């Protein structure tokens, strides 16, 4: 816009008051200069502004800056007023555009430029798009002018343009008319020596490029593209030279955009030292010297050093982002090395060290270092120096879910391990291992997320640490490896569908961890724990999941899992290899493996499957057992049907086929041991029979030696056993004939190979091969007895077993094991010099009976008594050792056998006579030995069986043996003569042990007499011998002596003697009841007996107390008891028993704890007294209303016993209970019923199995066996099976109480 001189002078002299009239009283329609009133806008203060005067003032470069500044401030204030703004935008929206743009370049005054910029920005925001577009177009046009001469004033124009370009409301790029000239001038302006202008140009170029990119389509050409080489050089040079962070930020922003647009790639395609052609020759001439300069990569390295050292973290982050883009571009290979050689890696490590582990600088640093690490050799030294910087970064990123630089951080650490292992200390390794394993654990627990690259690097780092020579010295490293291996597998199994590739890395870690645990220098419990952990992971997590989802997997992953399994099997740790092999076979591995071959019938899959088969056989069956499978692996088919088809081919002249058939038989044999049926049983049996038939000639002439005979026998017998169980599978009689011929005619050893239980059972069911089976039984006996029960067999559950299987068969009726054992023993007895072998057979039979006592029945049914008789009488086998072995076995058989299985043959009588012949001389001479006591035990067991109508004649011989009666009388007399000193003879002393066995024999004699000598015994004679009765002619001890033994004897003596006395009194009571015999015993004898029994009612041994209370109750119940004795019952001790029981039950806190536990014996005595003396005054005084009420109050559903119910039942019968007592008791008993019904139904689900042992190892154990029989014969709390069922007795007593109550009511 041009003005004449007069006008210019006039405008220059105008005062601000002529433009802005603020007098409210003098508002005119025109300004002082006479301008149209339409250009004068009023303000809220009452003044006005002439837009034309304002325009002239601010557009004139000669206007005083103070006036211009004042005018601009008034305009800014007026614009903030709604009426003024409304008039301006409605009537003159574009009037101020040109003056304000002119003002930007007219004054070299920063405050004025700031005011103008604010007004331009304010009007652009308020006005419509046309105003904003005009501002932008006018400013851009000034900068696009061909006459533009760059000066410092352009900085304000550039700054204002930058603000306009930053507006998001409109489309700024659309309003730039001459874009090419605009860009051309801006690029040229970069050569102006002003940092401030360069910074503004960089920002404008950056915004322009971003705006253009936002509008870009396929037909649009980037206006910066032609200038990108020069622009890159100028920008990098400016970045290198400037020290202003603002300029750096703008320059970096532009360079980042250029890098994203591929400018660096384009620049590298040109020779930067050659001439750059541009559309304008003048521009070329002015920039040639700029283009000529250092190479781009060197210039880039120098340019970024300054920003990297900046104190502004934003500058550092932008610089790092630029480096990342620079190195990530196509064709950047080699630039990493250049930057590393220019020490850029050192700068980045230093920034990382000072970052305080804060994002985004950590992310940017690690991304750059990850790219720089591609310069392997050059980067190593820098990595070694900066390695320590990575530790805090690792801790930081490890705790942030899905942190983008977790993988780069781990990768750098891994590269340091690989290239610079010497700088890594043990403490570094410990910290890293626990951090990495913690990452995996947190991922599994859902605490953090993790990218697949991070997972793979975590596994690689742990493997790298394992390979460090110093790793065994790392504290708790194996713990970290255990944790990492487990969680790696868990991660993969839970994310298999999402990240299947992770599985290979987890398997790699698992394999290396197991190999690490098996290193020769890695011995000890820690490595053992690691191996156990890995096996546990495989057993619990990996293999069950793998078997389940194998159909959804890719072949590479399936192969990887199988390869891992094979590696574990091949390690040196035999124990763990066996454990792992057992884990595999329990998963039906053979069947599963053939399924894998069906899914992936490739050569490598077939190879790994058969290699695993061979390793399993080597481990479970012995070294080199799997060699035939390894040799034939390449020739074996993948399909199970084709696999079995090989057995039907004749292989005599075909070594390859022979090898394949051996492999097939081995696989079938091993898989069958673990019930792993990968083919139909009918098909397998047919294939095995076909193999036998086509190769029968070779078998008969022993031409086939590649497969052990035992293996073929075991395999054939197994599938025959299965066929027998199903009743639907046919078999070949000819194949059976051939097999029986092989078994009878060839040498084979049943103990040399494992055998399935079904196979063993079928073999021992075949009568045609009993002769060779007897030889096998003999071998097994020698093996069992002499070598400690070697492992021979295999159960369907997958666990190895030994003699237990033979014992199970011997206890069964459907096979010949028991028959063969007896046969072998009889055959050996007939031979001389067979003592060790006989002892081994006897020992095996003893072990069998200990395991399965029912086997004694089968042995007796098949005549073992005859063999025992022969052993006792054969002079060639007479020795103390043999006598003791046979005696113990005899004891065990009689202890375990059921009476119905014993026959009245002469053998048992002969055995008994022999035993008594051995016992009597030594016992008569008081030379008791262990053998003598065992004989006493055997005689007791014979008498015990006579009560069940077995061995009656043999028992009669024992009972009527005068020498034996004399020995017993002398022994008892000697013991009784000791008086109070008898208590010193405990069970462990010679006298105590002898007396115990004598008392046991007496007990069984008393029980045996009614069956053996029916009607021949006057039991009253046992009560009193003082009347001159003849001495007993059979085994017997009178009541007087038994009472002495009960009173003075030790605890075991008291117990057995109390059982004997109870049994005698039971017989006396029964005789009185049946024959109504009168008591001939004197009162003093009865008083002495009752005195002893009364005192022992409170005995600490509950069994002794019960026996004495039962005995005392019987005596009290004898109807013809002397009147004097009855009169004493209300006094002294019996009354004390009643009162103590009543007090303890009514007021439990006053009774002793011991009496509360042992109240049962006292109850029986009280019940007996109630029956005899129902109307006794002293009993009424004890069981009064308060006492009975107190007892009932203390009862609950859980503490009621059968004795308590028995007591109340007798109190009811005696009339002691009132209606309120009966009502309360009914409620308690009803609750008791409910309680016990519930308790029994729950308790029935748990069955306690006691360890079974029938053969005594010494006399103490033999005595325990006999005592257990005695207690089971006399205890009242038994059912028909001999089990204690207190709850049954309780419920029965409650039911009886209810019936009595009904009778009472009726």
Query: Which of 579, 491, 613 is closest to 541 using CA atoms?
Result: 491
- Out of 520-529, 682-691, 956-965, 1008-1017, pick the least confident: 520-529
Mean pLDDT score, 531-544:
88
Query: Which of 86, 116, 111, 84 is closest to 99 using CA atoms?
Result: 116
Distance separating alpha carbons of residues 842 and 893, to the nearest angstrom:
11
pLDDT score at 1124: 53
Q: What are phi and psi of 42, to 5 degrees?
A: -80, 150
Q: How confident is the model at residue 600 (pLDDT cuts 50, 70, 90)?
A: very high
Q: For residue 1176, what are its two tokens?
A: 């006794």
Is the pLDDT assigned to residue 347 strictly greater than 80? yes
Exposed, middle or buried by CB within 10 Å (0-12, 13-18, 19+), for 551? Answer: exposed
SS3 for 1233-1284 is HHHHHHHHHHHCCCCCCCCCCCCCCCHHHHHHHHHHHHHHHHCCCECCCCCE
Mean pLDDT score, 860-877:
87
Is the pLDDT assigned to residue 181 strictly greater than 70? yes
Task: Enter the pTM of the model.
Answer: 0.73
pLDDT score at 1125: 53
Q: Compute the residue count for the chain.
A: 1306
Tokens 């992936």 — which residue?
600
Distance separating alpha carbons of residues 258 and 854, to the nearest angstrom:
95
Distance separating alpha carbons of residues 912 and 887, to the nearest angstrom:
11
Mean pLDDT score, 463-471:
87
Mean pLDDT score, 768-791:
80
Distance separating alpha carbons of residues 1018 and 459, to the nearest angstrom:
91
More confident residue, 1187 or 1285: 1187
Is the pLDDT assigned to residue 59 strictly greater than 60? yes
Sign of the C-alpha dihedral, residues 659, 662, 667, 668? positive
Whether residue 323 contacts residue 336, with contact meaning beta carbons closer than 8 Å, is answered with no
pLDDT score at 1076: 65
Q: What are phi and psi of 1065, to 5 degrees?
A: -65, -35
- Out of 29-43, 387-401, 514-528, 940-954, pick the least confident: 514-528
- 680 three-state secondary structure: coil
Whether residue 1287 contacts residue 1240, with contact meaning beta carbons closer than 8 Å, is answered with yes
pLDDT score at 1284: 42
Tokens 């503490």 — which residue?
1199
Q: How confident is the model at residue 318 (pLDDT cuts 50, 70, 90)?
A: very high
Phi/psi-derived region of residue 1015, left when phi > 0, alpha when psi is between -120 and 50, beta in every other case: left
According to DSSP, residue 768 is labeled G
Q: How confident is the model at residue 89 (pLDDT cuts 50, 70, 90)?
A: confident
More confident residue, 387 or 190: 387
β-bridge partners, 1106: none
pLDDT score at 611: 94
Is the pLDDT assigned to residue 758 strictly greater than 70? yes
β-bridge partners, 794: 756, 800
pLDDT score at 615: 92
Is the pLDDT assigned to residue 1275 strictly greater than 80? no
Q: Which of 540-554, 981-995, 1229-1243, 1269-1283 has the highest mean pLDDT?
A: 540-554
Looking at 1158-1253, list the stretches that DSSP marks H as alpha helix, in order from N- to C-terminal side: 1159-1172, 1177-1182, 1185-1193, 1202-1213, 1219-1243
Whether residue 106 contacts residue 62, with contact meaning beta carbons closer than 8 Å, is answered with no
Phi/psi-derived region of residue 995, left when phi > 0, alpha when psi is between -120 and 50, beta in every other case: alpha
**Residues contacting 1062, CB < 8 A, separation 6+:** 1107, 1110, 1111, 1274
β-bridge partners, 756: 794
Is the pLDDT assigned to residue 792 strictly greater than 60? no
Tokens 């002293």 — which residue?
1178
Q: How confident is the model at residue 1024 (pLDDT cuts 50, 70, 90)?
A: low
Tokens 């724990």 — which residue?
529
pLDDT score at 284: 40
More confident residue, 36 or 682: 682
Share of the chain above pLDDT 70, in %: 83
Instruction: Give the pairing of strands 793-794 and 755-756.
Output: parallel
pLDDT score at 616: 92
Distance separating alpha carbons of residues 147 and 504, to the nearest angstrom:
69
Mean pLDDT score, 702-715:
71
Is the pLDDT assigned to residue 794 strictly greater than 50? no
Mean pLDDT of the chain: 80
**Residues contacting 1031, CB < 8 A, separation 6+:** 969
Is the pLDDT assigned to residue 285 strictly greater than 80? no
Distance separating alpha carbons of residues 761 and 732, to the nearest angstrom:
19
Q: Give first-to-last CA distance, the chain, whole Å.
A: 139
Q: For residue 1065, what are its two tokens?
A: 């009194």
Distance separating alpha carbons of residues 586 and 538, to the nearest angstrom:
13
- The string of DSSP letters for 296-341 reads HHHHHHHHHHHHHT-S-HHHHHHHHHHHHHHHHSTT-TTHHHHHHH
Tokens 């086509």 — which residue?
694
pLDDT digits (tens, 9 = 90+) for 31-43: 777 777 777 887 8
Is the pLDDT assigned to residue 1149 strictly greater than 90? no
pLDDT score at 891: 94
**Crossing angle of the two packed helices 344-354 and 313-328, in degrees rounded to 10:** 140
Mean pLDDT score, 492-497:
79
pLDDT digits (tens, 9 = 90+) for 397-420: 888 888 888 889 999 989 888 888
Exposed, middle or buried by CB within 10 Å (0-12, 13-18, 19+), for 832? Answer: exposed
Q: Which of 524-528, 647-651, 1017-1021, 1102-1106 has the highest mean pLDDT?
A: 1102-1106
Distance separating alpha carbons of residues 1043 and 1065, to the nearest angstrom:
12
Buried b (16+ CB within 10 A) or exposed e, 924-943: eeeebeebbbbbbbbbbbbb
Mean pLDDT score, 92-98:
81
């Amino acid at each position: 816009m041009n003005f004449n001189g007069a006008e210019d002078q006039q405008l220059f002299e105008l005062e601000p008051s002529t433009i802005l009239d603020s007098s409210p009283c003098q508002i005119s329609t025109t300004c002082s200069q006479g301008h149209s009133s339409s250009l004068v806008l009023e303000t809220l203060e009452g003044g006005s502004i002439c837009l034309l005067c304002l325009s002239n003032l601010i557009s004139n470069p000669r206007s005083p800056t103070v006036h211009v500044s004042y005018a601009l401030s008034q305009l800014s204030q007026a614009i903030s007023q709604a009426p003024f703004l409304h008039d301006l935008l409605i009537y003159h929206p574009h009037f101020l555009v040109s003056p304000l743009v002119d003002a930007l370049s007219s004054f070299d005054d920063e405050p004025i430029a700031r005011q103008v910029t604010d007004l331009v920005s304010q009007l652009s925001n308020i006005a419509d798009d046309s105003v904003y577009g005009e501002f932008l177009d006018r400013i851009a046009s000034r900068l696009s002018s061909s006459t533009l001469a760059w000066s410092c004033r352009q900085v304000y124009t550039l700054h204002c343009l930058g603000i306009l370009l930053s507006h998001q409301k409109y489309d700024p790029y659309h309003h730039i008319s001459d874009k090419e000239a605009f860009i051309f001038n801006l690029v040229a302006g970069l050569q102006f020596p002003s940092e401030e202008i360069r910074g503004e140009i960089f920002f404008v170029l950056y915004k322009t490029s971003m705006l253009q990119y936002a509008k870009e389509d396929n037909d649009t050409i980037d206006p910066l593209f032609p200038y990108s080489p020069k622009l890159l050089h100028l920008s990098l040079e400016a970045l290198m030279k400037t020290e202003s962070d603002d300029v750096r930020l703008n320059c970096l922003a532009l360079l980042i955009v250029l890098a994203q647009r591929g400018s660096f790639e384009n620049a590298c395609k040109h020779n930067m030292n050659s001439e750059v052609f541009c559309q304008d020759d003048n521009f070329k001439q002015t920039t040639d010297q700029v283009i000529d300069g250092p190479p781009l990569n060197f210039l880039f390295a120098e340019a970024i050093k300054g920003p990297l050292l900046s104190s502004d973290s934003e500058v550092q982050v932008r610089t790092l982002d630029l480096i990342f883009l620079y190195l990530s571009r196509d064709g950047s290979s080699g630039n990493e090395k250049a930057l590393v050689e220019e020490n850029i890696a050192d700068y980045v490590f230093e920034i990382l060290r000072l970052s305080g582990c804060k994002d985004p600088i950590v992310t940017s640093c690690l991304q750059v270092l990850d790219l720089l690490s591609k310069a392997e050799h050059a980067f190593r030294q820098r990595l070694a120096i900066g390695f320590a910087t990575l530790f805090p970064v690792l801790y930081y990123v490890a705790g942030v879910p899905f942190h983008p630089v977790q993988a780069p951080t781990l990768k750098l650490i891994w590269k340091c391990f690989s290239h610079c292992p010497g700088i890594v200390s043990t403490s570094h390794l410990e910290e890293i291992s626990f951090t990495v394993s913690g990452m995996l654990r947190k991922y599994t627990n859902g605490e953090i997320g993790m990218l697949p690259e991070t997972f793979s690097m975590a596994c690689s780092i742990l493997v790298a640490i394992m390979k460090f020579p110093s790793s065994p010295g790392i504290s708790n490293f194996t713990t970290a490896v255990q944790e990492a291996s487990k969680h790696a597998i868990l991660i993969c199994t839970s994310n298999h569908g999402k990240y299947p590739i992770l599985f290979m890395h987890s398997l790699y870690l698992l394999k290396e961890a197991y190999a690490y645990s098996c290193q020769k220098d890695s011995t000890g419990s820690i490595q053992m724990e690691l191996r156990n952990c890995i096996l546990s992971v495989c057993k619990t997590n990996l293999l069950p999941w793998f078997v389940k989802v194998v159909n959804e997997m890719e072949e590479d992953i399936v192969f990887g899992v199988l390869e891992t399994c094979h590696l574990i099997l091949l390690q040196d740790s035999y124990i763990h290899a066996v454990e792992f092999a057992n884990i595999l076979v329990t998963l039906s591995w053979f069947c599963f493996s053939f399924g894998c071959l069906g899914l992936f019938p490739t050569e490598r899959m077939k190879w790994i499957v058969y290699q695993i088969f061979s390793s399993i056989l080597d481990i479970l069956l012995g070294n080199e057992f799997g060699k035939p499978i390894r040799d034939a692996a390449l020739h074996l088919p993948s399909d199970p049907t084709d696999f079995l088809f090989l057995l039907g081919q004749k292989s005599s002249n075909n070594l390859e086929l022979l090898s394949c058939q051996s492999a097939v038989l081995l696989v079938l044999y091993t898989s069958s041991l673990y019930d792993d049926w990968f083919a139909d049983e009918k098909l397998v049996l047919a294939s095995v029979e076909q193999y036998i038939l086509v190769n029968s000639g070779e078998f008969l002439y022993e031409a086939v030696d590649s497969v052990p005979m035992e293996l073929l026998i075991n395999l054939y017998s197994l599938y025959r056993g299965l066929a027998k169980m199903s009743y639907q599978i046919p078999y070949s009689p000819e194949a059976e004939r051939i097999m029986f011929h092989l078994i009878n005619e060839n040498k084979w050893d049943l103990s040399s190979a494992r055998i399935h239980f079904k196979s063993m059972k079928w073999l021992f069911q075949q009568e045609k091969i009993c002769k060779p089976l007897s030889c096998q039984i003999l071998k097994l006996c020698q093996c069992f007895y002499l070598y400690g029960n070697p492992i021979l067999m295999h159960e369907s559950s997958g666990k190895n077993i030994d003699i237990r299987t033979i014992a199970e068969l011997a206890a069964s009726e459907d096979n010949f094991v028991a028959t063969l054992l007896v046969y072998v023993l009889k055959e050996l007895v007939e031979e001389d010099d067979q003592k060790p072998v006989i002892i081994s057979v006897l020992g095996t039979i003893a072990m069998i009976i200990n395991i399965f006592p029912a086997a004694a029945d089968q042995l007796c049914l098949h005549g073992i008594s005859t063999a025992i008789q022969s052993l006792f009488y054969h002079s060639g086998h007479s020795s103390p050792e043999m006598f003791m072995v046979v005696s113990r076995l005899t004891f065990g058989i009689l202890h375990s056998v059921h009476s119905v299985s014993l026959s009245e043959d002469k053998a048992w009588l002969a055995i008994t006579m022999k035993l008594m012949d051995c016992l009597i001389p030594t016992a008569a001479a008081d030379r008791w030995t262990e053998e003598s006591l065992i004989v006493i035990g055997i005689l007791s067991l014979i008498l015990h069986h006579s009560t069940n109508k077995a061995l009656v004649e043999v028992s009669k011989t024992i009972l009527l043996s005068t020498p034996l009666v004399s020995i017993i009388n002398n022994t008892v007399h000697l013991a009784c003569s000791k008086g109070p000193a008898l208590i010193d003879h405990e069970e462990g002393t010679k006298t105590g042990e002898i007396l115990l066995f004598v008392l046991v024999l007496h007990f069984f004699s008393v029980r045996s007499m009614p069956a053996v000598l029916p009607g021949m015994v006057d039991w009253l004679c046992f009560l009193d011998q003082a009347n001159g009765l003849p001495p007993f002619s059979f085994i017997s001890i009178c009541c007087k002596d038994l009472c002495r033994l009960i009173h003075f004897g030790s605890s075991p003596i008291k117990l057995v003697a109390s059982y004997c006395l109870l049994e005698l009194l039971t017989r006396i009571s029964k005789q009185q009841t049946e024959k109504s015999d009168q008591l001939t015993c004197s009162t003093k004898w009865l008083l002495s007996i009752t005195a002893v029994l009364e005192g022992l009612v409170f005995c600490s041994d509950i069994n002794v107390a019960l026996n004495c209370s039962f005995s005392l109750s019987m005596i009290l119940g004898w109807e013809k008891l002397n009147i004097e004795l009855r009169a004493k019952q209300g006094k002294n001790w019996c009354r004390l028993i009643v009162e103590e029981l009543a007090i303890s039950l009514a007021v439990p806190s006053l009774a002793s704890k011991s009496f509360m536990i042992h109240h049962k014996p006292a109850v029986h005595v009280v019940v007996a007294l109630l029956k005899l003396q129902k109307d006794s005054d002293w009993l009424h005084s004890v069981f009064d209303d308060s006492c009975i009420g107190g007892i009932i109050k203390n009862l609950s559903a859980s503490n009621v016993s059968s004795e308590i119910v028995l007591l109340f039942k007798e109190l009811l019968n005696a009339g002691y209970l009132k209606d309120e007592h009966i009502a309360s008791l009914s409620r308690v008993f009803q609750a008791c019923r409910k309680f016990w019904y519930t308790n029994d139904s729950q308790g029935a689900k748990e069955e306690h199995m006691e360890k079974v042992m029938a053969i005594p190892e010494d006399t103490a154990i033999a005595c325990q066996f006999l005592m257990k029989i005695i207690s089971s014969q006399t205890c009242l709390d038994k059912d028909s099976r001999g089990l204690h069922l207190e709850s049954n007795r309780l419920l029965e007593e409650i039911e009886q109480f209810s019936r009595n109550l009904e009778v009472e009511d009726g």
